[in-house]
């Protein structure tokens, strides 16, 4: 054993490649549907064909008697169950009394009305055709404008306003009255559909003898799912076990349980059997949670010397017909994050959410962060244009200074650390902004429409706690369990690196377990970019305690003090005499193992000191075809500061993935309902997603300013690309069109919208 080599191993851990990829690209992954057997029953949902209506009649007798059908459930069967929990953030927050299966009313196209459990999915599909549904149609309420005008959708509610909160500081009205300049922007962010490789799925198995439920769910939050299932089904927590096997993407859509999960579990309990629900792609588009969809109007007050003095913002979100656990988060984040990275003394911000007769709205990669960045960065570019100032210089003038960190914002948030001005300079240098501007001048002189835009953002990484456990097993292996689950981010790789860096071994020696509630007594899961800052800190703390215990045991066996002991992949040894050693297997054998096979075990429940705020700047260069309006994003440049990076390659991969989703949401993605509340984008033939050949060249760099809010010093990175990309592209498009008099466009920025704006600008010129 070589102590010098051991220390070098710790330093080399950052280069560790993803350990998950090999089995996944070989098709050796295990997803929920892979756990089904020939004895598994299948559930199919009969769904509402209308957005809003009175349920006059529901006849399931023929379906129930169809050969192979074992159970048909309707609203009456589940009327006494406790409702799904909803996290509360707002002073005014009302939760609609939504039934699991429709009873007297229909509230959205795709709402479950009846559940058919059969020996096979095909049998269930045949039986579903026999269900007779009779209803009277009521007016659809598909957006926030309609929701404000329409009578209350749910009985017992005064109106459709379900969320309402304001942030105020300073005298905003006085600041606007005294302003030398005021700019205003109104933006509607289109609804988007999280499109995961694996649609939602659950396999619920109930053992009638033990009274226990085993639930395999494609979820980001297995412990939350366990608590929810136990509470709703009136089971003790120890009677429910949840496992999240390989999960094919989540993006927030799989952060909470849906009515379909509860109904499937209820059916399994009723039958004492295993029941599988696997959503189709169209079911996810019509009944899975949607994201974004905000309507934001904002104005910014400016002094004569170009300082931001006040911000007013009115934020409105549609909520759909029921509220998932984190439904309030997007509106909450969009409000509290403003004014982003800028010093603005006075603010008046109001965020509201309205019940609508559409699919539920939930958290989607960024969850309010992209919306806040889009409106703020649009205002910033509009202000720079009004002042005839360079957008880069204008931002530098108004960014919060590094010397003022930690900084308390006008909405009461504490930005923990960072150097915004330096990062902006780094982004400009990486983009070589002087060269693109010269190129832009040259190409504009030749008649081309060229734009350069930037989007600066801040990203809170969540608060609270996470749990972890590091164990030496009886066979000499080391197993670490984390409450932070994985859905494709490389969680096993990064977690192994954290533990290995403390123990002093290569990450390949560490086995990571996650996604199974039996591995840890409790946990939160993977959401809000919290897995590395909080989950990683819990692993670090557990690994440190584990290392101390192991060194103590080795010291006893080797007859020295524990401070003379070092560890590596082979075991423990005396630093001054590497020949005096005990292997991991010998260390394990020296301790009596428990029934679970653990010889030595250390646990941690780590709670962060506060939110770690990542930040970054994205720059986009675009060109527009004058004849067709076709938009080409020529390149994307980004610099992010996510604090300490455990694995720089994983971090870059996360940013690239976020950029792709941000590009899709800006250029093409849009959930569309017609006037009757019918979904017009119910398949991938109608709902556009970006293809690989539409992703432009991407050039990324990183700063690493450690956060004082957690042991790792990490900040969020998982949502960065999705936050900074939309405003960068939007501002670049407006920069290209502003010389023609186009100062604002609705998203998504399709060629048709740009072509129409070009023609309207040309017609206006002709009229003049």
Q: What is the pLDDT of residues 285-337, one digit of tens each?
A: 999 999 999 999 999 999 999 999 999 999 999 999 999 999 999 999 999 99
The pLDDT value recorded for residue 3 is: 33
Q: Give the C-alpha separation, 330 to 38, whole Å.
A: 42
Q: Break the chain into its structural domains and give their ranges.
A: 3-29+464-607, 371-462+612-767
Q: In which band, very low, low, confident or very high, does the pLDDT at 619 lie, cut at 50, 70 and 90?
A: very high
Residue 695 has pLDDT above 80, yes or no: yes
The pLDDT value recorded for residue 39 is: 95
Instruction: Give the mean pLDDT of 624-646.
Output: 95
> Which tokens go with 438?
């010269």
Instruction: Give the mean pLDDT of 672-699.
Output: 95
Residue among 46, 722, 649 at smallest CA distance from 371: 722
Containing 137, the helix (H) or strand (E) segment is: strand 132-137
The pLDDT value recorded for residue 121 is: 96
Each residue of 334-358: pLDDT tens digit? 999 999 999 999 999 999 999 999 9
Share of the chain above pLDDT 70, in %: 96
Burial classification of residue 443, based on how many CB atoms lie within 10 Å of its CB (0-12 exposed, 13-18 middle, 19 or more buried): middle
Q: In which band, very low, low, confident or very high, does the pLDDT at 515 lie, cut at 50, 70 and 90?
A: confident
Instruction: Give the mean pLDDT of 659-663.
Output: 96
Share of the chain above pLDDT 90, in %: 75
The pLDDT value recorded for residue 622 is: 96
Do 3-29+464-607 and 371-462+612-767 fold alike per CATH?
yes
- Contact between 596 and 518 under an 8 Å Cβ cutoff? The reply is no
Q: Hey, which of 172-186, 510-524, 589-603, 647-661 has the most confident mean pLDDT?
A: 172-186
Residue 684: CB partners within 8 Å, gap ≥ 6?
195, 281
Q: In which band, very low, low, confident or very high, does the pLDDT at 11 lie, cut at 50, 70 and 90?
A: very low
Residue 8 has pLDDT above 70, yes or no: no
Residue 679 has pLDDT above 80, yes or no: yes
- Stronger pLDDT, 578 or 268, i.e. the higher one: 268
C-alpha distance from residue 408 to each of 333, 444, 529, 640 (Å): 16, 43, 21, 21
Residue pointed to by tokens 């205003």: 184
The pLDDT value recorded for residue 765 is: 63
Residue 434 has pLDDT above 80, yes or no: no
Containing 184, the helix (H) or strand (E) segment is: strand 181-188
Residue 455: CB partners within 8 Å, gap ≥ 6?
373, 374, 377, 617, 618, 620, 723, 724, 725, 726, 727, 728, 730, 731
C-alpha distance from residue 625 to each of 188, 426, 631, 695 (Å): 24, 31, 7, 18
- Contact between 247 and 57 under an 8 Å Cβ cutoff? The reply is no
| Cα distance between the two ends of the chain | 84
Each residue of 25-83: pLDDT tens digit? 888 889 999 999 999 999 999 999 999 999 999 999 999 999 999 999 999 999 999 99
The pLDDT value recorded for residue 4 is: 36
Residue pointed to by tokens 């004058």: 626
The pLDDT value recorded for residue 16 is: 67
Q: In which band, very low, low, confident or very high, does the pLDDT at 15 lie, cut at 50, 70 and 90?
A: low
- Contact between 186 and 296 under an 8 Å Cβ cutoff? The reply is yes
pTM: 0.92
Q: In which band, very low, low, confident or very high, does the pLDDT at 575 lie, cut at 50, 70 and 90?
A: confident
Residue 80, Cβ neighbours under 10 Å: how many?
A: 7
Q: In which band, very low, low, confident or very high, does the pLDDT at 7 lie, cut at 50, 70 and 90?
A: very low
Instruction: Give the mean pLDDT of 222-235.
Output: 94
The dihedral over CA atoms of 313, 318, 324, 328, expressed in degrees to the nearest 10, equals 10
Write down the mean pLDDT value for the chain. 92
Q: Give the C-alpha separation, 471 to 427, whole Å.
A: 43
> Which tokens go with 231?
């509470």
Residue among 73, 456, 452, 410 at smallest CA distance from 266: 73
152-163 in b/e form (b: 16+ CB < 10 A) is ebbeebeebbbb
Instruction: Give the mean pLDDT of 752-758.
Output: 94
Name the CATH architecture for the domain at 371-462+612-767.
2-Layer Sandwich (3.30)
- Contact between 468 and 535 under an 8 Å Cβ cutoff? The reply is yes
Residue 377 has pLDDT above 50, yes or no: yes
Q: In which band, very low, low, confident or very high, does the pLDDT at 1 lie, cut at 50, 70 and 90?
A: very low
Q: In which band, very low, low, confident or very high, does the pLDDT at 464 lie, cut at 50, 70 and 90?
A: confident
Q: In which band, very low, low, confident or very high, does the pLDDT at 521 lie, cut at 50, 70 and 90?
A: confident
Instruction: Give the mean pLDDT of 236-258.
Output: 93
Residue 381 has pLDDT above 80, yes or no: yes
**What secondary structure letter does DSSP report for 531?**
I
Q: In which band, very low, low, confident or very high, does the pLDDT at 578 lie, cut at 50, 70 and 90?
A: low
- Contact between 681 and 191 under an 8 Å Cβ cutoff? The reply is no
Q: Give the C-alpha separation, 497 to 714, whole Å.
A: 14
- Strands (E) across 464-607 are located at 465-473, 478-482, 510-514, 565-568, 571-574, 577-583, 598-607
**Angle in degrees, 0-180, between the axes of helices 222-232 and 259-271, rounded to the nearest 10:** 60
Q: Which CATH class is domain 3-29+464-607?
A: alpha beta
Q: In which band, very low, low, confident or very high, does the pLDDT at 755 lie, cut at 50, 70 and 90?
A: very high
Q: Give the C-alpha separation, 674 to 50, whole Å.
A: 11
Q: Is the peptide bond before 418 cis (omega within 30 degrees of 0)?
A: no
Each residue of 188-227: pLDDT tens digit? 999 999 999 999 999 999 999 999 999 999 999 999 999 9
Instruction: Give the mean pLDDT of 271-284.
Output: 96
Residue 6 has pLDDT above 50, yes or no: no
Instruction: Give the mean pLDDT of 596-614.
Output: 90
Instruction: Give the mean pLDDT of 542-564.
Output: 90
Residue 2 has pLDDT above 50, yes or no: no
* DSSP 3-state percent helix, strand, coil across the chain (nearest 5): 35, 25, 40
């Amino acid at each position: 054993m070589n102590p010098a080599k051991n220390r070098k191993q710790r330093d080399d851990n950052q280069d560790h490649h993803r350990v998950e990829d090999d089995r996944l690209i070989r098709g050796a992954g295990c997803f929920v549907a892979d756990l089904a057997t020939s004895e598994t029953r299948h559930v199919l949902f009969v769904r509402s064909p209308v957005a809003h209506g009175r349920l006059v009649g529901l006849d399931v007798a023929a379906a129930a008697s169809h050969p192979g059908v074992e159970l048909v459930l309707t609203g009456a069967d589940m009327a006494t169950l406790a409702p799904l929990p909803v996290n509360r953030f707002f002073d005014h927050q009302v939760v609609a009394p939504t039934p699991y299966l429709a009873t007297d009313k229909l509230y959205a196209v795709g709402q479950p009305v009846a559940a058919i459990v059969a020996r096979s999915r095909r049998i269930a599909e045949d039986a579903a055709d026999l269900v007779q549904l009779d209803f009277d149609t009521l007016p659809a309420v598909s957006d926030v404008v309609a929701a404000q005008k329409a009578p209350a959708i749910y009985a017992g509610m005064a109106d459709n306003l379900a969320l309402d909160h304001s942030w105020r500081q300073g005298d905003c009205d006085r600041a606007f009255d005294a302003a030398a300049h005021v700019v205003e922007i109104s933006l509607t962010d289109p609804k988007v559909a999280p499109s995961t490789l694996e649609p939602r799925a659950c396999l619920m198995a109930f053992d009638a003898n033990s009274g226990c439920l085993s639930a395999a769910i494609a979820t980001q939050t297995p412990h939350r799912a366990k608590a929810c299932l136990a509470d709703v089904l009136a089971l003790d927590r120890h009677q429910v076990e949840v496992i999240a096997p390989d999960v094919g993407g989540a993006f927030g859509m799989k952060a909470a349980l849906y009515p379909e999960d509860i109904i499937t579990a209820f059916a399994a309990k009723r039958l004492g059997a295993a029941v599988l629900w696997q959503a189709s792609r169209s079911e996810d588009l019509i009944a899975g949670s949607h994201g974004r969809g905000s309507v934001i109007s904002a104005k910014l007050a400016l002094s004569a010397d170009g300082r931001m003095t006040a911000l007013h913002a009115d934020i409105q979100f549609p909520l759909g017909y029921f509220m998932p656990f984190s439904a309030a988060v997007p509106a909450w984040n969009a409000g509290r994050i403003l004014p982003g990275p800028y010093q603005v003394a006075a603010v008046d911000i109001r965020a509201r959410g309205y019940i609508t007769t559409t699919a539920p709205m939930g958290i989607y990669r960024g969850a309010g962060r992209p919306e806040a960045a889009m409106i703020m960065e649009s205002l910033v570019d509009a202000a720079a244009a009004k002042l005839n100032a360079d957008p880069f210089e204008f931002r530098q003038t108004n960014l919060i200074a590094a010397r003022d960190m930690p900084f308390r914002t006008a909405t009461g948030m504490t930005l923990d650390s960072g150097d915004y001005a330096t990062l902006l300079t780094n982004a400009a240098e990486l983009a070589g902004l002087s060269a693109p501007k010269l190129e832009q001048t040259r190409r504009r002189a030749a008649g081309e429409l060229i734009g350069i835009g930037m989007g600066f953002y801040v990203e809170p990484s969540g608060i609270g706690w996470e749990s972890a456990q590091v164990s030496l097993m009886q066979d000499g292996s080391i197993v670490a369990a984390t409450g932070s689950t994985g859905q494709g981010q490389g969680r096993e790789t990064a977690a192994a690196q954290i533990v290995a860096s403390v123990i002093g071994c290569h990450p390949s020696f560490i086995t990571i377990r996650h996604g199974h509630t039996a591995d840890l007594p409790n946990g939160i899961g993977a959401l809000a970019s919290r897995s590395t800052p909080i989950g990683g800190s819990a692993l670090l703390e557990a690994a440190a305690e584990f290392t101390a215990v192991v060194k103590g045991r080795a010291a006893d066996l080797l007859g020295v003090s524990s401070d003379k002991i070092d560890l590596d992949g082979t075991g423990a040894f005396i630093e001054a005499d590497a020949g005096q050693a005990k292997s991991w297997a010998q260390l394990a054998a020296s301790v009596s193992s428990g029934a679970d096979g653990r010889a030595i075990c250390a646990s941690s429940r780590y709670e962060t000191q506060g939110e770690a705020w990542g930040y970054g700047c994205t720059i986009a260069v675009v060109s527009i075809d004058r004849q067709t309006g076709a938009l080409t994003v020529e390149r994307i440049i980004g610099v992010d500061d996510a604090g300490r990076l455990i694995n720089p390659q994983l971090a870059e991969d996360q940013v690239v993935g976020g950029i792709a989703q941000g590009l899709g949401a800006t250029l093409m993605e849009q959930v569309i309902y017609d006037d009757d509340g019918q979904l017009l984008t119910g398949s991938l033939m109608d709902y556009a997603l970006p293809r690989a050949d539409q992703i432009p060249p991407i050039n990324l760099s990183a700063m690493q300013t450690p956060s004082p809010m957690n042991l790792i010093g990490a900040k969020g990175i998982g949502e960065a690309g999705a936050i900074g990309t939309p405003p960068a592209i939007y501002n670049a498009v407006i920069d290209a069109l502003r010389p023609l008099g186009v100062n604002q466009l609705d998203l998504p920025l399709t060629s048709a919208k740009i072509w129409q704006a070009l023609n309207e600008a040309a017609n206006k010129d002709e009229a003049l």
